[in-house]
Amino acid sequence: MLLKKEVAEIFENEAYHQFATSSRDGKPNICNIGGKFIRDDGEIVMVDNFMKKTIANLQENSEIAILIRREKESYQIKGTARYLTTGEEYDQAYKWMKAKGDKYPAKGAIIITIHSVYNSMTGKNAGEGLQ
């Protein structure tokens, strides 16, 4: 699924977003993500530099949510994630992250297939699906 232009613009241009995962038994985790980009096919790529609980959760449960926002404008993205440490997709993420500096270890790539996007703003359209 391709993100609507206004959602993709916020995702790509705001420095950090919140990334939520859950273990198999429902134990939640949320972290900030900064190393991220959208591929041409619409999938989101996030680079694992320092994640621990997030990766443990992804190994048990691939369902994720991302909250993106700019000032009062916000959206929730839901999808499924794959965690990679080898292969072409990982290599692409690794090179992208290393181009930003050697201080980033780029231990893995999280590839997210988007299933739905929701309005997370207050008001009459709160919680409605966009796509």
User: What's residue 125's pLDDT?
Assistant: 81
The string of pLDDT tens digits covering residues 21-47 is 999 999 999 999 999 999 999 999 999
User: Residue 125: CB partners within 8 Å, gap ≥ 6?
Assistant: 119
Enumerate the H helices of the chain as residue ranges. Answer: 5-13, 53-60, 88-98
Report the predicted TM-score, pTM, of the whole model to 2 decimal places: 0.93
The string of pLDDT tens digits covering residues 105-119 is 999 999 999 999 999
Q: Identify each DSSP E strand in the chain by its residue range.
A: 17-22, 28-33, 36-38, 44-48, 63-70, 73-84, 108-119
The string of pLDDT tens digits covering residues 51-61 is 999 999 999 99
The string of pLDDT tens digits covering residues 75-116 is 999 999 999 999 999 999 999 999 999 999 999 999 999 999
The string of pLDDT tens digits covering residues 60-74 is 999 999 999 999 999
Q: Decide: helix, strand or coil at residue 68.
A: strand
CATH number of 5-119: 2.30.110.10
> Where exactly are the structural domains of the chain?
5-119
User: What's residue 131's pLDDT?
Assistant: 60
